[in-house]
């Protein structure tokens, strides 16, 4: 399935079956003996209802949870192995509806395999094999229009994908078009985090 980002850079909102997202998030909680406080941000980022997620996970939390998927991946990837955790997170995309994939964090499925930003670089993985496409993780910064790079200076919102890809080439990214369409929108979306009322 192709990404919802086509000609211009944007951040999308996924259409999902909210109950299915929560069900899968609860399975992930059990699989990795994860803290419900780590799981709630992931569930809401992928589209679960925050009030229902609080109830099911039994947590009292409110406010913004910043970088919930990155935090989960760093914490549990270190403990259980990145690829094992990534394979489970990618399954959360299966509950997205519609004809395209909406990237929600530092990981997104590709036609074959997936693309992921780990704490130490960007990788494309398929069938147990991962290859590096950037030697360092990308850092994006908040901007009123969404997010931006400082070096090279570029506000990403509504930029042509070719312009974003050119900036990524300057950052030594090997697959700039894939990163611009599949990874970067999720990094920007996650930068602002999710709100739990």
Calpha distance 165→10 (Å, rounded)? 14
The Cα 75–Cα 38 span in angstroms is 9
Question: Residue 26 domain-assigned?
Answer: yes
pLDDT, mean over the chain: 95
**pLDDT value of position 146:** 87
pLDDT by residue (tens digit) across 118-162?
Answer: 999 999 999 889 999 999 999 999 999 889 999 899 999 999 999
- Reading the block at residue 137, the tokens are 């993780």
Q: Does any domain span residue 170? A: yes
> Which residues, in sequence order, are CB contacts of 166 under 8 Å at separation 6+?
176
In-domain check, residue 43? yes
Tokens, residue 141? 């910064």
Number of domains in the chain: 1
Is 2 within a domain? no
In a domain, 1, yes or no: no
DSSP β-ladder status, 141-143 and 129-134: unpaired
Using the predicted structure, report yes or no on whether residue 1 has a pLDDT greater than 80. no
Q: What is the pLDDT of residues 26-47, one digit of tens each?
A: 999 999 999 999 999 999 999 9
**How many Å apart are CA 126 and CA 62, to the nearest integer?**
37
Q: How many CB atoms lie within 10 A of CB 51?
A: 11
Three-class secondary structure assignment of 100-152? CECCCCCEEECCCCEEEEECCEEEEEECCEEEEEECCCCCCEEECCEEEECCC
Within-domain flag for 3: no
Is position 52 within any domain?
Answer: yes
List the domain range (segments joined by +) for residue 88: 8-196
Residue where the block lists tokens 């697959």: 175
In a domain, 80, yes or no: yes
Cα gap 42→89, rounded to integer Å: 9
């Amino acid at each position: 399935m192709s990404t919802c980002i086509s000609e211009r850079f944007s951040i999308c909102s996924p259409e999902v079956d909210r109950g299915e997202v929560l069900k899968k998030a609860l399975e992930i909680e059990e699989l990795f003996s994860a803290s419900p406080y780590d799981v709630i941000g992931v569930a809401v980022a992928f589209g679960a209802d925050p009030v229902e997620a609080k109830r099911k996970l039994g947590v009292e939390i409110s406010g913004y949870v910043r970088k919930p998927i990155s935090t989960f991946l760093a914490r549990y990837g270190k403990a259980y192995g990145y690829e094992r955790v990534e394979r489970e997170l990618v399954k959360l995309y299966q509950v997205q509806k519609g004809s395209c994939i909406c990237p929600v964090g530092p990981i997104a499925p590709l036609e074959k395999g997936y693309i992921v930003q780990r704490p130490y670089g960007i990788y494309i993985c398929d069938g147990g094999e991962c290859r590096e496409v950037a030697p360092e993780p990308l850092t994006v910064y908040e901007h009123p229009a969404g997010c931006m790079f400082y070096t090279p200076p570029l506000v990403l919102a509504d930029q042509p994908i070719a312009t974003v890809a050119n900036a990524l080439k300057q950052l030594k990214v090997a697959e700039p078009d894939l990163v611009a369409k599949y990874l970067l929108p999720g990094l920007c979306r996650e930068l602002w985090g999710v709100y739990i009322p």
